[in-house]
Amino acid sequence: MLSKIKNIYLGQAIGDALGLATEFMTKVEIVQNYPNGIHNYDDIIRDEHRSRFQVGAWTDDTDQFLCIDKSIKKYGFVNSLDIAQEFKNWFNDNPMGIGKTTYEILKLPEYTSKPEQCAEFIWRMKGSDIAPNGALMRNAAVVIHSYENEKKVLENCKKVCQLTHFDQRCVDSCQIHGLLLSRVINGGDTTLKSILESISTLDSRTKEYIKNNLTKDIISLNLDDSKTWGYTLKSLCAGLWGYYYSESFESGLLTIINEGGDADTNGCIAGTLMAAKFGDIPHRWIAGLNQQIT
């Protein structure tokens, strides 16, 4: 279990850092920018977006993962107000890559005292129909501290999700990812049917999206569609594709990254699942990280 948990930290950071290579690119742009492929962090082009990050650095996805990790290690449980304060401290340090929804919520002056209410307020202001992937990208940090108790996993995934993302589809994404990841660690039933049947509160839109979009052919996910690439269910399916259909950590991650779109987020979501499942993380990707994650 300890080995799997260590691998989850690495899968999070590596998926994020290597996914930066194609973040917000279409597959056509990826071919143009990477004619020789993507093999390591120093292959990442230094355009206006990517040159802001040092080689081998992760982005806001793993920054927020570490905010959660730090708080839970401090208290031994999910302290919502403390995690919100960690997010706010990070926000006040002018982080790079922060998502639009998270930014609008964290900038509210009442955030540290009423985080859930702020998240719901922004959701309602946006028409009660926004479900970005900003909670899912950091969700593994919740699971590694509560994986032994499935009820607690589901409770904590919802609790931490709604510190910034109120929509039920965001909660669903975190709970599906969280339950699957906890069962990978524990050796439980990881079939998709069992995972979905174990969560009684799933929105019908969540079940329909997975049914209609998740296939062995990753092209069916249209990860590089700019109109939907930040959608939480799209990124969830990228992670599920990595777990159920990839053959190794390396081949799975590179396949997902080469689909473009929100590639760093898709990379870290799939990265946590594949790292726990396979454990075959290339040493060059561990050694090349800009900072230590474990």
Each residue's pLDDT tens digit, 199-225: 999 999 999 999 999 999 999 999 999
Task: Please say if the pLDDT value at position 2 is more than 90.
Answer: no
> Within 10 A of 123 (CB to CB), how many other CB atoms are there?
21
Side chain identity, residue 264 = D
Look up the CATH number of domain 2-287.
1.10.4080.10
Could you give the angle at which helices 263-278 and 249-257 cross, rounded to 10 degrees?
170
Q: What letter would DSSP give residue 25?
A: B
Residue 1 pLDDT exceeds 90: no
Q: Are 23 and 290 in contact (CB under 8 A)?
A: no
DSSP assignment of 174-233 equals: HHHHHHHHHHHHHT----HHHHHHT-TT--HHHHHHHHHH--SSGGGG-TT-TTTTTBHH
Question: For the segment 60-78, what is each residue's pLDDT rounded down to a tens digit?
Answer: 999 999 999 999 999 999 9
Mean pLDDT of the chain: 97
For the segment 8-31, the average pLDDT, to the nearest whole number, is 98
Q: Which two tokens stand for residue 193?
A: 């049917």
Predicted pLDDT at 294 = 75
Of the chain, the percentage scoring pLDDT greater than 70 comes to 100
Q: Where are the domains of the chain?
A: 2-287
Q: Which of 257, 259, 209, 262 is nearest to 237 (CA)?
A: 209
pLDDT, tens only, 81-90: 999 999 999 9
Task: Say which residues have a Cβ less than 8 Å from residue 199's Cβ, sequence separation at least 6.
Answer: 154, 172, 175, 176, 179
What is the largest distance, in Å, between two alpha-carbon atoms of the chain?
A: 50
Residue type, 37: G
The backbone torsions φ and ψ at residue 261, rounded to the nearest 5 degrees and listed phi first, read: 75, -140
Q: CA distances (Å), 25 to each of 257, 266, 285, in order?
A: 10, 13, 22
Q: Is 260 helix (H, G, I), strand (E, B) or coil?
A: coil
Q: Looking at the predicted structure, is the pLDDT value of residue 129 above 80?
A: yes
Residue 256 pLDDT: 98
* Mean pLDDT of all residues in 16-27: 98
**Are 146 and 152 a contacting pair, CB within 8 Å?**
yes
- Bridge partners of 132? 231
